[in-house]
Copies of this chain bind each other. A is one copy, B any other.
């Protein structure tokens, strides 16, 4: 599994450095390296919010040091080559492609982010083995630095959304059987029965209910059955005790 290092090359605005520290920590990344940064004072600290540790442990480094200590060096660029014949920014990859490319790297993957006003120089780009670009609108392609870092950190984090129990196939079948009995109970026309059950199976399968949701549907059917039972006109046959008892 790769270890991500965010490298800001000559960042000009301290607030951005603070925001970068915050969004890195949000996605579980802590290694921040700074090449020739602006002075970091109160605004950087304010924007870092609860990521003071990431900001304070940021190392001042040179590009040579970054290249020496990294398994893979990635350069980000907002501007990509228009022609395949300009190799400085070509070929380039989107963040989700980068995630797959470095998924099996053991060691440090350093991602270089350039200056807010003019990005990375061609010389800096030439030190990277992979060029990455975030697809943006041609109308306004310039992302704020911390937004660009945030999207790379998001794509390269190993975080999952968490899990919760969906209704099992057994519980779903039990729900469909209950629905079948319910249709019987409300005298749903026999010739429509199969298609109605099929539609219900399609809708409920697609919705992928949690166990709680499936159980609420069960409960609603049961409650309705009970009310129907209670309001059913009394029938003499039903009321008489079964033969042979008493």
How many chain-A residues does the 8 Å CB contact rule pick out? 50
Q: Give the CA-CA distance A94 to B154 in the complex, in Å.
A: 11
Q: Is A140 an interface residue (CB 8 A)?
A: yes
Q: Collect the chain B residues with CB atoms within 8 Å of residue A92's CB.
A: 161-162, 164
Which residues of A in the span 148-184 have a Cβ within 8 Å of any Cβ on B? Answer: 150-151, 154, 157, 159-162, 164-166
Q: Is A26 an interface residue (CB 8 A)?
A: yes
Residue of A19, A134, A140 with most chain B CB atoms under a 10 A cut-off: A140
Q: Give the CA-CA distance A158 to B197 in the complex, in Å.
A: 37
Residue of B nearest to A25 (CB): B140
Residues B87 and A147 in contact, CB atoms below 8 Å apart: no
The segment from A64-72, A187-195, A209-217 that touches chain B is A209-217
Q: Is A122 an interface residue (CB 8 A)?
A: no
Q: Is A144 an interface residue (CB 8 A)?
A: yes
Q: Give the CA-CA distance A97 to B84 in the complex, in Å.
A: 34
Residues B25 and A139 in contact, CB atoms below 8 Å apart: yes
Q: Collect the chain B residues with CB atoms within 8 Å of residue A160's CB.
A: 94, 135
- Interface residues, chain A, with chain B CB atoms under 8 Å away: 19, 22-23, 25-28, 49-51, 80-81, 84-85, 87, 90-94, 97, 133-137, 139-144, 146-147, 150-151, 154, 157, 159-162, 164-166, 208, 210-213
Would you give 12 A-B contacts (Cβ < 8 Å), ordered by A? A23-B144, A23-B147, A25-B139, A26-B143, A28-B136, A50-B142, A80-B161, A90-B210, A94-B160, A144-B146, A147-B150, A154-B154
